[in-house]
Amino acid sequence: MRRLRMGMIGGGPGAFIGPVHRLAAEMDREIELVAGAFSSDAARSREAGAAYRIDPARAYGDVAAMLAAERSRKDGIDFVAIVSPNHHHLPAAKAALASGLPVICDKPLTATMAEAEELARLVEEAKLPFAVTYTYSGYPLVREARARIAAGALGTIRKVVVEYPQGWLAGGAAGKQAEWRIDPSRAGLGGCIGDIGVHGFQLAEFVTGLKVSEMLADLGSVVPGRVLDDDCSILLRFENGARGVLLASQIEVGEMNALRIRAYGDKGGLVWKQETPGTLTLHSLDGRSELIHAGGSQLGPDALARTRTPNGHPEGYLEAFANLYRDFAALLHGEGAPLLPGIAEGLRGMRFIATAVEASRNAAGWVKL
Amino acid sequence: MRRLRMGMIGGGPGAFIGPVHRLAAEMDREIELVAGAFSSDAARSREAGAAYRIDPARAYGDVAAMLAAERSRKDGIDFVAIVSPNHHHLPAAKAALASGLPVICDKPLTATMAEAEELARLVEEAKLPFAVTYTYSGYPLVREARARIAAGALGTIRKVVVEYPQGWLAGGAAGKQAEWRIDPSRAGLGGCIGDIGVHGFQLAEFVTGLKVSEMLADLGSVVPGRVLDDDCSILLRFENGARGVLLASQIEVGEMNALRIRAYGDKGGLVWKQETPGTLTLHSLDGRSELIHAGGSQLGPDALARTRTPNGHPEGYLEAFANLYRDFAALLHGEGAPLLPGIAEGLRGMRFIATAVEASRNAAGWVKL
Amino acid sequence: MRRLRMGMIGGGPGAFIGPVHRLAAEMDREIELVAGAFSSDAARSREAGAAYRIDPARAYGDVAAMLAAERSRKDGIDFVAIVSPNHHHLPAAKAALASGLPVICDKPLTATMAEAEELARLVEEAKLPFAVTYTYSGYPLVREARARIAAGALGTIRKVVVEYPQGWLAGGAAGKQAEWRIDPSRAGLGGCIGDIGVHGFQLAEFVTGLKVSEMLADLGSVVPGRVLDDDCSILLRFENGARGVLLASQIEVGEMNALRIRAYGDKGGLVWKQETPGTLTLHSLDGRSELIHAGGSQLGPDALARTRTPNGHPEGYLEAFANLYRDFAALLHGEGAPLLPGIAEGLRGMRFIATAVEASRNAAGWVKL
Amino acid sequence: MRRLRMGMIGGGPGAFIGPVHRLAAEMDREIELVAGAFSSDAARSREAGAAYRIDPARAYGDVAAMLAAERSRKDGIDFVAIVSPNHHHLPAAKAALASGLPVICDKPLTATMAEAEELARLVEEAKLPFAVTYTYSGYPLVREARARIAAGALGTIRKVVVEYPQGWLAGGAAGKQAEWRIDPSRAGLGGCIGDIGVHGFQLAEFVTGLKVSEMLADLGSVVPGRVLDDDCSILLRFENGARGVLLASQIEVGEMNALRIRAYGDKGGLVWKQETPGTLTLHSLDGRSELIHAGGSQLGPDALARTRTPNGHPEGYLEAFANLYRDFAALLHGEGAPLLPGIAEGLRGMRFIATAVEASRNAAGWVKL
């Protein structure tokens, strides 16, 4: 079977997440990057194209040009990956969908809630595959955690704690990656909440299979001069009455990317940590504690199919990301990818962000989600 | 110098914390248990006295009897340790102080706020030494953390996260230890908040040297039929504007006693975990991470003086508890013990508990502390 | 710059390391798999080619056919990757070199010492690039460890301990991967010593920059019926007089791939563990302990250039493997790759294996290497 | 029941292990230090006595004086604890036994093999209780490990690895504790091998229930000017054919007291680490990994009876040491203490040390033990 051909929007010189998408998309050789509108500056787009080693003729200076030119090729792109800052997501996705192309889009879905709702309508009308790269749901042991909870290993879920501490925005300037994330005109509504808080939110719902029904948000802008939030503390209630806490921060000096989820039911508990992603700890009410290893014989089929090496051979962030692209390829091949986050999860994430920002600004206490 | 003579109130057959106090008090041979009103049932008190191997004549059936008898001995007790359930603290302390004896009392200070205020008045009037055993402030690396922060290693504190997850009350009955803790008539106002939440609160203020100024509390009674809280999520503000989170739970299946504190300033961060208490991790803004080991050469004098063995020889909960008694002995010898929690910390802990319970019940949002 | 074109030898259906080479080679988009003699069974080779999604015409039934056909193409392969069982390495490499192609070869270099020496001569005569994939030397923090030691951070090295425990061959049959590894006709001289012991040996010399001068080997065949060794304990002396220990085992139930290296000098020590590869611990004689994080600001240039994501985003085995291919691409582009293991390291590894097997069989005590 | 009365020999000003014995002996209030010949210098012995807060009249200037004076008291000592440097063990034990007193003695048993054999004869003749404080066999999870292996959890043991890395003797002088340990006239035959290697040896036999039958020892004196060994690598064979490795070093900079034992059979494996003593990891051949927690519900009776607090409340070195004294008290009360190391284990440890030193000096290869 031939490889699917990807066109990238965004990911120009200096970008972080563009190269990650490229690498992840191609990891399993089901997809190939062949074209890109990497930058709205044509020279910079060509520079990026050269770095990605694609055909120079297919490094375009704008999205419309890429879509038009690729449509006219026999070997034109099969889908578009959107990896630009948040405020570009809607126009890029709109153009791609209008051009009849499936889309895989980085999170958060858009910069504003209104954009998100518009995009959701467009996706519904277009009836085209659309995925959102909530990276952490691609980890094998996150899939395993979800499967174990779905199978009742924890009983009825009572409590969920998700923490996402980072420290890289604790100081002043931190380079290009920091720049747009702290600028409302590019990042949109949320700072920390949109950059990492939404990952935690999606992970909590993904792993437990439960929806958050209410929340109480306390967002702060801690670093002097910062406009957007950089520290978030959120209390949660889930639809079944379970209690939850979601903490995200980018000013906790020394923390790297320490996303951690813990879920507890009336029969057991589990813990997974992103920085040591190859181990899932399961506890049961009778006092037993078990370690589940990525690549090991205790894994269920979904998780096992998403590890590439035997246990003890660490896989990490890039492999988790690649698992989302593997799902996306399956989706495009019509095989289905029930666990791949789509437009609904993208929209829901935006609702979470918007609700948190609004409720926190108004000190609104508990609000519905 | 002779050993100080301790009389214990509470700690009868089946007790957990009584034997811990005895062991901790005697660990450094500065104190000796010689008498006790271990139970209000005289036979049970004698049984306990035999288990502690004290003179049978000094195992009393009530507090008043002990105080009277000991006062009349030349080798009578020098102080009283109160280790009974919370609702006994006030009457026991009142009697001891009236008898002219210093008191060391388990936490929380009392069962109710009114009792706490009465006790504070009594201590003030009595002008006698009074300590409250917030165990975790006795750990060497907690002392080190406090010293480092006081010396400016973290710069201005911006964020504090304290978590205290336990799982032992996730099921139904869990023996005598559980029984009184979940009974309002014995535990008082708070369940989880009074049993462990207050430890987290005291630790946060102790380590950072900052006072909590406001809080938003969400307390739940998760296990069916439970009256008192067993799961607490609390947002904090400190007097300097720093943000904080305090989580405590007793229904997180598989969690043992996983108290953890993290503090972050504009120059650095630190992390300490009670279950691996021999390591303190320090981060600085420039990306360096350092491990500080209990008993190691990087310790300051206060922490070093509170380790009994070289690094790599694990010390734990009992040694931390003993450090409080070492401080208490110093206090009684007139040497001072500035870091030993006293009546002010006891009263403050009760205010924290009462405020949390009240604010949560009324869904009061942010309230002053 | 165009991507280098790789032809693979071995890596047919059911193979483990073939897909790893493919993935690693392509990760940074500098190399592309375009052809392969994946199996000596033509149908199986075609099956593998389809799985790799290469042009069906370029999935060959034997090495000679691949080399001939590819030479005649304008877009023929630029180099050969040898990923077949050990006894195929020499004939495959010989053919590739004779065809004028650079070679990258899995370890151990060959099945026997005589083959290794022959191959070394051939490489010398051919004057073509030749690399050996000692995977673990591709980890960023292994590079960092080497750089720190080279810069004197540990002073004079006195002691090196390398341990490589696995458990997957503790039981009876363990599938295709086990089968050839325990068969002398395919694996060659060594079992565990050739499969993983040689990794430990190479790592020890790589990290310390020191050569082993003498060794005392004790190899056992523990599982009943096993012919080759499955458990190795080896004492070492390095050229500077430093002492060393190398342990490798494949019968330690529950161990996954727990390669660990520790080196100690007169000024400091360091520890790195493959299963948590993102952290390097450095100790100094004055009692300080520092954590070095992959992707963090404390890394030297070589290690930093070999991480693809910021710290806290775990990279692992596949990324380390890809770092070797990145070096190999640089070598082919004439940019040099001084740390990429070559024929000398491959030959030295074989000498280590042969010496260990021989010395152990003869209970020869200390022998020169 | 009254407390047993202990007389200490050694443990004068500046001692490390004396205060540890005192604390451990008294921890459970079954024993009380009442007398001591803490130093052969009478003034220093009195100084130590004051620090221990015993009756000044019972701090003696020599062993004979203590034994004579205590024998004449109604409340005289019930047993003697020998905590002085190794070369004092024999004369002290000899005198105590002659005086009719049971003895608990620090390890190694004596300074030389001849002394050990003499002492063994004396103990046999005296028919008095005699214990040797191999500390690590007092840890609850070491007891649990032993019980699990005895119950067959690992099947037939095939491999045992014991490592004991320390770094505190990597530099030059390191205070009084270092001084006598590196002086042959006081430490005896062995340096590192006698100070910590013998702990590892005893632990290996204790946990597995197997005897070492052969060994190959490589002992080095790494620090310039050192006479005794400071780095030991030893290969082992057990009586059932199992293979083993014992590593001990005191020059591994940054290592604290990182004793670790791993045992593997044909059905499972287990790992225990002294620096995190509250967790035992169990692996089974089918891929499951379980964590056993000190104080938890998965413990067998022997281990459970040797933890004083619930799981999550760390206990460590001092509590492990106290468990040996608890056993010793049981022995003196005639209740038996089958797991308490006695004269046989003491003698066996000396044989191990003597054999290792002799075999290493002569490069004797494999020798019988």
pLDDT at A213 over 80: yes
A169 vs A189: CA distance, rounded Å: 17
Between the CA of residue A218 and those of A355, A359, C298, what are the distances in Å? 11, 8, 34
Residues of chain B with pLDDT under 70: 173-176
- How many structural domains does chain D have? 2
List of chain B residues whose C-beta atoms are within 8 Å of the C-beta of residue A255: 264, 269, 283
Closest by CA to B22, choosing from B6, B45, B46, B37, is B6
Residue A254 shares a structural domain with residue A350:
yes
The single-letter code of the amino acid at A106 is D
CB contact under 8 A, C313 and A316: yes
Angle CA B29–B30–B34, to nearest 5: 85
D235 → closest Cβ in C233, C249, C285: C233
List of chain A residues whose C-beta atoms are within 8 Å of the C-beta of residue C255: 312
Q: How confident is the model at residue A302 (pLDDT cuts 50, 70, 90)?
A: very high
Name the 3-class secondary structure at C130: strand
Question: Roughly what angle, to the nearest 10 degrees, separates helices B42-52 and B17-26?
Answer: 40
Tell me the CATH number at B89: 3.40.50.720
Nearest chain C residue (CA) to D288: C254
Q: What is the pLDDT of residue B173?
A: 59
Instruction: Compute the average pLDDT of residues C11-39.
Output: 96
Q: What is the pLDDT of residue A300?
A: 95
Tell me the CATH number at D241: 3.30.360.10
List of chain A residues whose C-beta atoms are within 8 Å of the C-beta of residue D141: none
Residue B174 shares a structural domain with residue B89:
no
Q: What is the pLDDT of residue D176?
A: 65
D311 → closest Cβ in B19, B256, B311: B256
Interface test with chain C among A22, A23, A291, by most C beta carbons within 10 Å: A23
Residue B19 shares a structural domain with residue B157:
no
Residues 6+ apart with CB under 8 A from A133: A21, A104, A105, A106, A107, A321, A324, A341
Partners of A244 in the beta sheet?
A160, A236
Phi/psi zone of residue B244: left (φ > 0), alpha (ψ -120 to 50 degrees), beta? beta
Token couple for A32: 């190939």
Given a contact cutoff of 8 angstroms between Cβ atoms, the answer to whether D174 and D167 are in contact is no
The mean pLDDT of chain D is 96
Given a contact cutoff of 8 angstroms between Cβ atoms, the answer to whether D281 and D289 are in contact is yes
- Whether A15 is covered by a domain: the verdict is yes
Nearest chain B residue (CA) to A170: B266
Q: How confident is the model at residue D186 (pLDDT cuts 50, 70, 90)?
A: confident
The mean pLDDT of chain B is 96
Q: How confident is the model at residue D175 (pLDDT cuts 50, 70, 90)?
A: low
Q: Touching C: which chains, 3+ CB pairs < 8 A? A: A, B, D
C257 vs A311: CA distance, rounded Å: 7
Nearest chain A residue (CA) to D280: A289
Given a contact cutoff of 8 angstroms between Cβ atoms, the answer to whether D155 and D366 are in contact is no
Q: What is the pLDDT of residue C349?
A: 98
CB contact under 8 A, B297 and C287: yes
Given a contact cutoff of 8 angstroms between Cβ atoms, the answer to whether B311 and B296 are in contact is yes
- DSSP H helices, D9-160, are 17-26, 42-52, 63-71, 89-98, 113-126, 140-150
Given a contact cutoff of 8 angstroms between Cβ atoms, the answer to whether C318 and C309 are in contact is no
- What is the DSSP secondary-structure string of C222-275? -STT--S--EEEEEEEETTS-EEEEEEES--TT--S--EEEEEESSEEEEEETT
List of chain C residues whose C-beta atoms are within 8 Å of the C-beta of residue B296: 287
Which residue, chain included where needed, has tokens 């890289």?
A168
| Chain center to CA of A98 | 24
Does D98 or D173 have the greater pLDDT score? D98
Q: What is the pLDDT of residue D137?
A: 97
Name the 3-class secondary structure at A103: strand
Residue B150 shares a structural domain with residue B113:
no
Q: What is the pLDDT of residue B176?
A: 66
pLDDT tens-place string over residues C178-223: 777 778 887 788 999 999 999 999 999 999 999 999 999 999 999 9
- What is the DSSP secondary-structure string of D268-289? EEEEEETTSTTEEEEEETTS-E
- Whether D336 is covered by a domain: the verdict is no
Partners of D116 in the beta sheet?
none
pLDDT at C173 over 70: no
CB contact under 8 A, A314 and C275: yes
Token couple for A81: 């990956």
Residue A24 shares a structural domain with residue A80:
yes
Name the 3-class secondary structure at C67: helix
Q: Which residues does A contribute to its contact with B (CB < 8 Å)?
A: 154, 158-159, 161, 165, 167, 170-171, 216, 218, 220, 222, 231, 233, 235, 243, 245, 247, 249, 251-255, 262, 264-271, 281-285, 289, 363, 365-366
Q: How confident is the model at residue C294 (pLDDT cuts 50, 70, 90)?
A: very high
List of chain A residues whose C-beta atoms are within 8 Å of the C-beta of residue B281: 254
C360 vs C368: CA distance, rounded Å: 13
pLDDT at D1 over 80: no
Residue A168 shares a structural domain with residue A179:
yes
Which of D92, D116, D135 is the last residue in one of the domains? D135
Q: Where are the extended beta strands (E) located within chain D? A: 4-9, 31-37, 79-82, 103-106, 130-133, 157-165, 212-220, 231-238, 243-249, 260-265, 268-273, 279-284, 289-293, 367-368
The mean pLDDT of chain A is 96
Instruction: Compute the average pLDDT of residues D229-251.
Output: 98
Instruction: Compute the average pLDDT of residues D83-95.
Output: 96
Q: What is the pLDDT of residue B64?
A: 97
Instruction: Compute the average pLDDT of residues D243-272.
Output: 98
D156 vs D240: CA distance, rounded Å: 9
B293 vs D115: CA distance, rounded Å: 39
Beta-carbon count within 10 A of C338 CB? 9
pTM (two decimals): 0.96
Q: Is C127 exposed, middle or buried (0-12, 13-18, 19+ CB in 10 A)?
A: exposed
pLDDT at D180 over 90: no
List of chain D residues whose C-beta atoms are within 8 Å of the C-beta of residue A298: 287-288
Given a contact cutoff of 8 angstroms between Cβ atoms, the answer to whether C223 and C230 are in contact is yes
Token couple for D183: 């002086």
Q: How confident is the model at residue A188 (pLDDT cuts 50, 70, 90)?
A: confident
Q: What is the pLDDT of residue C353?
A: 97
Q: Which residues does A contribute to its contact with D (CB < 8 Å)?
A: 281, 286-291, 293, 296-298
Partners of D214 in the beta sheet?
D237, D368
Q: Touching A: which chains, 3+ CB pairs < 8 A? A: B, C, D
pLDDT tens-place string over residues B110-154: 999 999 999 999 999 999 999 999 999 999 999 999 999 999 999
A257 → closest Cβ in C258, C275, C312: C312
B34 vs B48: CA distance, rounded Å: 12
Which of B75, B103, B135 is the last residue in one of the domains? B135
D110 vs D87: CA distance, rounded Å: 6
- DSSP H helices, B245-315, are 301-304
- Whether A47 is covered by a domain: the verdict is yes
A186 vs B59: CA distance, rounded Å: 74
Nearest chain C residue (CA) to D154: C253
- Whether C63 is covered by a domain: the verdict is yes
Residue A177 shares a structural domain with residue A282:
yes
A26 → closest Cβ in C1, C26, C319: C26
* ipTM for the assembly: 0.95
pLDDT tens-place string over residues B310-339: 999 999 999 999 999 999 999 999 999 999
Name the 3-class secondary structure at C215: strand
Owning domain of residue B14: 4-135
Q: What is the pLDDT of residue D150?
A: 98
Residue D170 shares a structural domain with residue D260:
yes
Given a contact cutoff of 8 angstroms between Cβ atoms, the answer to whether A245 and A260 are in contact is no
Please give, rounded to a whole number of angstroms, the shortest distance from the CA of D27 to a CA of chain B: 6
CB contact under 8 A, A252 and B264: yes
pLDDT tens-place string over residues A44-64: 999 999 999 999 999 999 999
- Whether B352 is covered by a domain: the verdict is yes
Q: What is the pLDDT of residue C187?
A: 75
Interface test with chain A among B230, B253, B282, by most A beta carbons within 10 Å: B253
CB contact under 8 A, B276 and D277: no
Q: How confident is the model at residue C174 (pLDDT cuts 50, 70, 90)?
A: low
The single-letter code of the amino acid at B135 is T
Residue B123 shares a structural domain with residue B152:
no
Closest by CA to D163, choosing from D274, D325, D70, D4, is D274
C363 vs D245: CA distance, rounded Å: 17
- Whether C321 is covered by a domain: the verdict is no
Q: Touching D: which chains, 3+ CB pairs < 8 A? A: A, B, C
A276 → closest Cβ in C20, C50, C276: C276
List of chain A residues whose C-beta atoms are within 8 Å of the C-beta of residue B222: 158-159, 243
Which of A114, A135, A156 is the last residue in one of the domains? A135
pLDDT at C234 over 80: yes
- Interface A-C, measured as beta-carbon pairs within 8 A, has a size of 116
Name the 3-class secondary structure at C170: coil
- Whether B95 is covered by a domain: the verdict is yes
pLDDT tens-place string over residues A15-47: 989 999 999 999 999 999 999 999 999 999 999
CB contact under 8 A, D26 and B26: yes
pLDDT at C260 over 90: yes
Q: How confident is the model at residue A176 (pLDDT cuts 50, 70, 90)?
A: low
D5 vs D34: CA distance, rounded Å: 6
- Whether C331 is covered by a domain: the verdict is no
B288 vs B298: CA distance, rounded Å: 16
List of chain D residues whose C-beta atoms are within 8 Å of the C-beta of residue C231: 158-159, 243
Phi/psi zone of residue A14: left (φ > 0), alpha (ψ -120 to 50 degrees), beta? left
Q: What is the pLDDT of residue A186?
A: 79
- Give me the percent of chain B exceeding a pLDDT of 90: 93
C264 → closest Cβ in D243, D253, D363: D253
Q: Which residues does D contribute to its contact with C (CB < 8 Å)?
A: 154, 158-159, 161, 165, 167, 170-171, 216, 218, 220, 222, 231, 233, 235, 243, 245, 247, 249, 251-255, 262, 264-271, 281-285, 289, 363, 365-366
Name the 3-class secondary structure at D318: helix
Residue C152 shares a structural domain with residue C283:
yes
Residue B153 shares a structural domain with residue B293:
yes
Residue D88 shares a structural domain with residue D113:
yes
The single-letter code of the amino acid at D55 is D
